[in-house]
Amino acid sequence: MVVINEWLPNPRGADAEGEWVELVNLGTTTENLSGWAISASGGKKVSLSIVLNPGEYKVFRRVDTKLTLKNSGETLVLRDAQGKTVSVSAYKGSAFEGKSYARLPSGDFTFSVPTPGARNVFPEVAAGTPLSSGPLKSGTTLSVAEAALLAAATGVLCGTIILFAIFHDEKIHKLLFGGDPKIR
């Protein structure tokens, strides 16, 4: 199963030199892509004539293919030799400069650190950096006041749960206070 795996619509520097599209074979058999094509929403199309082994990645660079990607509101489509759509990837809004649009294990896409020719990684998730305004619905950051309010609300909620447990579990109450948990 060959899919669009990652693409870089808005590289740092000149688009003509930095844009690329990556395919990956997620299947267990070798796939012959002769007659297949990748097309962008602007109508540009690249015909393919390669073979992809299982787990193999192939990067198609704009300097070689002349496939131009828009920096906002772009759609890529991969079609087989019969013209059947095999894979689609699209985003709305503006592409983040220097970030690739990468396929998550779920099949959704988000902006991430480019990894051309290799497995996609998503360090932004661990670092807490916004990924995108795409499928994950992130991309916003909290102000200091919002973060403080969120922390306070979380503290109140946790405190309420702890007090509830203390006053409704006789063993915990006796352990902490040495008496009957009934409120006097």
Q: Output the tens digit of pLDDT for each of the chain's 184 residues.
A: 999 999 999 999 899 899 999 999 999 999 999 999 999 997 889 999 999 999 999 999 999 999 999 999 999 999 999 999 999 999 999 999 999 999 999 899 999 999 999 999 887 554 444 444 444 344 445 566 666 777 788 888 887 887 777 777 777 767 777 766 555 4
- Pick from 89, 88, 91: which is nearest to 72 by CA? 91
Phi first, then psi, for residue 154 (nearest 5°) are -65, -40
**Cβ atoms within 10 A of the Cβ of 2, count?**
21
- In the Cβ-directed half-sphere of 97, how many Cα atoms lie within 13 Å? 4
Which pLDDT score is estimated for 141? 52
Residue 94: what residue type?
S
CB 65 within 8 A of CB 76: no
Which pLDDT score is estimated for 173? 65
Pull the structure tokens for residue 112.
């991430």
Which pLDDT score is estimated for 62? 94
Q: Which fold has domain 2-127?
A: Immunoglobulin-like (2.60.40)
Which pLDDT score is estimated for 52? 96
87 burial type by CB count under 10 A (0-12 exposed, 13-18 middle, 19+ buried): buried
